[in-house]
Amino acid sequence: MWISKDFSGKTFTTSKMAATMGSLVSYGSDSDSDNETQCNGSPEKIDPEALAHLQPLKSGQTLSLALLNSAPEVAVKEAVETGVHLDPSLKEVTFNPSYETMFAPEFGPVNPYRSQQMAAPRNMLSGYAEPAHVNDFMFEQQRRTFSTFGYALDPSVDTSQISSNSYIGAVDEAEKKKGLTVFEVGPKKTDKRKKVQGGEADDIDNYLGPWAKYVDEKDGAKPSEEEQKELDEITAKRQKKGRNEEEAPAEEKTILHVKDAYDYQGRSYLHVPQDVGINLRTADTPDKCYLPKKQIHVWTGHTKGVSAIRLFPVSGHLLLSCSMDCKIKLWEVYNERRCVRTFIGHSKAVRDICFNNTGSQYMSAGYDRYLKLWDTETGQCISRFTNRKVPYCVKFNPDEDKQNLFVAGMSDKKIVQWDVRTGEVVQEYDRHLGAVNTITFVDENRRFVSTSDDKSLRVWEWDIPVDFKYIAEPSMHSMPAVTLSPNGKWLACQSMDNQILIFGAQNRFRLNKKKIFKGHMVAGYACQVDFSPDMSYVVSGDADGKLNIWDWKTTKLYHRIKAHDKVCISALWHPHETSKVITCGWDGQIKLWD
């Protein structure tokens, strides 16, 4: 019989529980069945399964598991007390311990990687150092002596009885240096060097004072007789060379490469062709331009790098190029694309060229310090100009009534204005702080913009030698190439921080921060920039010889072509063509792309 407790604490047997459950079951039945039961008087049988959960659980077979001690033996208090393990804090051991007992770990299992040497006691990272009473200065002195000379005093030796055995390390070196430390070794002060006696202070002629030479000082500054002779020859050569440079300029000559200078009607090659499919006589530009895709022609003839190219004014049917081979060449852009004429007259590389408005004449600027005026048709040199400085850029005044005037940016920071008729300097614009790189006429030719190595941009009124606008920011770099847009509103400046900056060209000359063209490498090279005639693209060469084309509106780099083996120094978009671009490079080639 099982005894249970209800929640109230009363105890009752399982037979009572069964009776209670029976009455609950009979209570749940309907009233008719109740009446029948009362009439019959016999008790109803209870289903044993209904009371199965109240029966005690039968005990089954139990599973016994063997206990395994998987952890290795480690030191515990009882083991230390019984002598199985040694207490590391003990100074004395009263029994003879075994090897295993002495080298057993204090706690935990044995480290398989821990050698006997590692297990040995140590008080510093590299091992065990015996305590020695050395002050900080002595220790540092010996440490430095050991690292410098390779020897040091043995700290365990008594310092009062120092001998050759008292040193550790390079003992031989210690004997040689007599055990001196780094603080003791050094040049010993000897007697002062004596100076030559130079009279008394009141003797003005013979008094040498502090400028007197030392007694043991040798006079080695003077060259020997042979060396003096050699030096005299070198200086004489240099003086002669300097005089030669100031002599007359190189002789000018020209070579005509075409069979006939004039056609059957008596027209020269300057005559604009009418059989090329487009009207070159007007200044009309194409409505829509497209990206050039392939190379269609190469002009070869220059033996060194090409430094600048210029198209014939208005028509663009001829191309003028100047090179580092000291020559200037005129090429056809249409039909057979021949080399028409070569102009020879500079003794050094030609830096810049510029046509006048009609194209009948052009100016050339060379590193031989001469500016020369040429006749495009006959190849004759009309006149020469120089101020003994190197001209970096040259420009005719674009006004029709000022075609006799031109300006040149010089290496001596000046912009010099000449009159072709008299050959004299009529104006000097001297405000830049570095060599002048570019001159660009703006605002209907009333003003011009100049850039310089001084990293500034200056705007000048024509014939007034004071700049009325000066633009220079600490973040600005020098801009050695500037181009005016076809609509005359913008200046594209090639900046030496690998960007093309756009400045307004009408009133305020402000930097347009929304239009900055990036993605090419030009640092160190004056790569010329140009616009497409419809103002939809910007083109420029770069230091890798690539032609880069950007979209004007979005400033995105649209297209890149490997154009030259060396620097692509200039790129010109033909003013009458939808997709023709001319490039030149330091590989000596001029290429036409379409």
71-118 pLDDT, tens digit each: 555 556 666 666 667 777 778 888 888 887 777 776 666 677 777 777
Count other Cβ atoms within 10 Å, centred on residue 345: 24
pLDDT in tens, 510-525: 999 999 999 999 999 9
Q: What is the C-alpha to C-alpha distance for residues 377 and 268, in angstroms, rounded to an integer?
A: 7
Identify whether the C-beta of residue 352 lies closer than 8 Å to the C-beta of residue 391.
yes
Helix and strand numbers (H, E) in the chain are 8, 33
pLDDT in tens, 563-583: 999 999 999 999 999 999 999
Task: Record the tokens describing residue 555, joined without a space.
Answer: 């400033």
Q: What is the C-alpha to C-alpha distance for residues 176 and 492, in angstroms, rounded to an integer?
A: 75
The DSSP line for 438-465 is EEEEETTTTEEEEEETTS-EEEEETT--
Q: What is the C-alpha to C-alpha distance for residues 519 and 500, in angstroms, rounded to an integer?
A: 10
Intra-chain end-to-end CA distance of the chain, in Å:
113
Q: What is the C-alpha to C-alpha distance for residues 444 and 298, in angstroms, rounded to an integer?
A: 36
Q: What is the C-alpha to C-alpha distance for residues 316 and 240, in angstroms, rounded to an integer?
A: 45
Q: What is the C-alpha to C-alpha distance for residues 29 and 41, in angstroms, rounded to an integer?
A: 16
Token match 């055995």: residue?
A: 165
**pLDDT for the residue numbered 59:** 57
Residue 33 has pLDDT above 60, yes or no: no
Return left, alpha or beta for 88; rule: phi > 0 is left, psi -120 to 50 is alpha, else beta: alpha
Residue 528 has pLDDT above 80, yes or no: yes
- CA distances from residue 159 to 134, 166, 368 in whole angstroms, order as listed: 11, 9, 81
Token match 């060259």: residue?
A: 223
Q: Degrees (nearest 5) of the Cα angle 373, 378, 382?
A: 25
Q: Which SS3 state, helix, strand or coil, does residue 553 take?
A: coil
- Sign of the dihedral defined by the CA atoms of residues 255, 261, 267, 272, in that order: negative
Count other Cβ atoms within 10 Å, centred on residue 474: 5
Residue 155 has pLDDT above 60, yes or no: yes
Task: Record the tokens describing residue 181, joined without a space.
Answer: 């430390």
Q: What is the C-alpha to C-alpha distance for residues 539 and 582, in angstroms, rounded to an integer?
A: 10
pLDDT in tens, 396-451: 999 999 999 999 999 999 999 999 999 999 999 999 999 999 999 999 999 999 99
Token match 């633009």: residue?
A: 471
Burial 399-435 (b: 16+ CB within 10 A, else e): eeeebebbbbbbeebbbbbbebeeeeeeeebebbeeb
Q: What is the C-alpha to C-alpha distance for residues 440 and 417, in angstroms, rounded to an integer?
A: 14
Residue 311 has pLDDT above 90, yes or no: yes
Instruction: Give the H/E segment covering residue 437.
Output: strand 436-442
Instruction: Give the H/E segment covering residue 298.
Output: strand 295-299
Q: Which residues contact 300 (CB under 8 A, 6 or more apart)?
A: 588, 589, 590
Mean pLDDT in residue range 497-501: 96
Q: What is the C-alpha to C-alpha distance for residues 400 and 249, in angstroms, rounded to an integer?
A: 30
Q: Which of 1-10, 219-228, 324-333, 395-404 has the lowest mean pLDDT?
A: 1-10
Q: What is the C-alpha to C-alpha distance for residues 529 and 87, in angstroms, rounded to an integer?
A: 88
Percent pLDDT > 70 in the chain is 82
487 vs 241, residue with greater confidence: 487
- Sign of the dihedral defined by the CA atoms of residues 93, 96, 102, 105, in that order: negative
Q: What is the C-alpha to C-alpha distance for residues 321 and 299, in angstroms, rounded to an integer?
A: 10
**pLDDT for the residue numbered 72:** 56
Strand partners, 511: 503
Average pLDDT, the chain: 84
Identify whether the C-beta of residue 517 lies closer than 8 Å to the C-beta of residue 481.
no
Q: What is the C-alpha to C-alpha distance for residues 252 and 346, in angstroms, rounded to an integer?
A: 8
User: Quick one: the chain helix, strand, coil %, rounded to 5?
Assistant: 15, 30, 55
Mean pLDDT in residue range 244-255: 77
- Sign of the dihedral defined by the CA atoms of residues 296, 302, 304, 306, in that order: negative
How many CA atoms within 13 Å lie on the side-chain side of 191? 2
